Amino acid sequence: MRVLHFCKTYYPDSVGGIEQVIRQMCVGTGRLGVTNTVLSLSREKNLAPIAFEGHTVHRVPLDFELASNGCSVASFGALARLAREADVVHYHFPWPFADLAHFVARVRKPTVLTYHSDIVRQKKLLRLYQPLKQRFLRSVDAIVATSPNYMESSPVLGRYRDKTRIITYGLDQSTYPQPDPARLAYWRERVGPKFFLFVGVLRYYKGLHVLLEAVAGTNYPVVIVGSGPEEDRLKAQAQRLGLKTVLFVGAVGEDDKVALLTLCYALAFPSHLRSEAFGISLLEGAMYGKPMVSCDIGTGTTYINIDGETGLVAPPSDPRALRATLRTLWDNPDLAREMGACAAARFEEVFTASQMATSYNSLYQELVARRAATPGIAVPGHAAPAKAPD
């Protein structure tokens, strides 16, 4: 089984939640005999193929971006060529350019689309994109929602229930480095023995401005890991509020991230908009047995963090309510330990990479078998029909 993933950006050019998910898909299904290839866009000059953790990464030049939508003319030919060599093409939504590339490249292989998130912010451009989006979603063979919460709350997914199934994200802790004693000692000295931790790209939907308001007037240490477009604004807000116990440490390597996940008292994940469809760093917190504080936005964050069981859930964009949840955990270490243990147990039950990989491998096999059994539809190694499916 040969699977081609087509995504906007990937390792080594960028590190984020979606990149981590695709990495875990490739590593996990690779152990089941799938040969994975990733095609992504890049700003780098040396674009030779890269062997990465058992799969191959092909990159094409990023020509320009429009409303965060990366575009590459070279990707049309690359997608057509690599799709011919694949048994299944796996797309990652939302990325409007991929919709266009799918039709320009005349992809004829069975197709899977992982629906990572609704498009929330670009409402005017969304109206222009709507016809292409609908045609693309109709054309793919299967759509994957990443949590039952998102399946139920997304108006887009509701239109395609007949071909949508739920496969949650999963992680494999063995792919993370072991905590390094030197890094543990460094961070323990720098941030102290008890702190809330946030990890992620500093984007508009992460709700960090709410977190800063929530800890104003308290002495709760908060460590914020990551960089991004909201960084300067958040630092200015922290200075304006006089937050002496909030530490922005910027983007860190995997060794440092693991050290901070190991040391932290609890994970704070205040995302307040539906652009946060799941929350990989929230899932990492569960994997490391940490209690979690998150907001109920009708997405996968509340599927990971069960209120009163694995942590506490607050209403979105409510600093006072968020402060109350932080205080409850901070003042009740026994409760925090119990919730952290429940988080780890739920992770093992629902969110392992092996479960995700098994589900995707079964889906790939099903789609190839279905295509082979359908007269007049191209199958791997056979001629493609002249007209693309609508």
From the list 30, 1, 23, 27, the residue with the least C-alpha distance to 88 is: 1
| 3 state DSSP class of 370 | helix
The CA-to-CA distance between both ends of the chain, in Å, stands at 26
Query: What pLDDT does residue 387 have?
Result: 40
| Pairing mode of beta strands 142-145, 111-115 | parallel
Query: What pLDDT does residue 350 have?
Result: 96
Q: What is the mean pLDDT of residues 352-364?
A: 98
Q: Within 264-378, where are the H helices?
A: 280-287, 301-304, 319-331, 333-350, 353-372
- Buried b or exposed e, range 120-148, using 16+ CB within 10 angstroms: eebeeebeebeeebeebbebbbbbbbbbe
Query: What pLDDT does residue 377 have?
Result: 54
Residues 313 and 304: their CA atoms lie apart, in Å, by 11
- Buried b or exposed e, range 300-311, using 16+ CB within 10 angstroms: bbbbbbbeeebb
Task: Tally Cβ neighbours within 10 Å of residue 221.
Answer: 20
Residues 105 and 250: their CA atoms lie apart, in Å, by 39
The pLDDT tens digits of the residues spanning 122-165 come to: 667 778 899 999 999 999 999 999 999 999 999 999 999 999 99
Q: Within 31-67, where are the H helices?
A: none
User: Mean pLDDT, the chain, as a whole number?
Assistant: 93
Predicted structure pTM score: 0.88
Residues 17 and 6: their CA atoms lie apart, in Å, by 16
Residues 290 and 303: their CA atoms lie apart, in Å, by 16
Q: Would you say residue 64 has pLDDT above 90?
A: yes
Q: What is the mean pLDDT of residues 282-307?
A: 96
pLDDT band at 16 (very low <50, low <70, confident <90, very high): confident
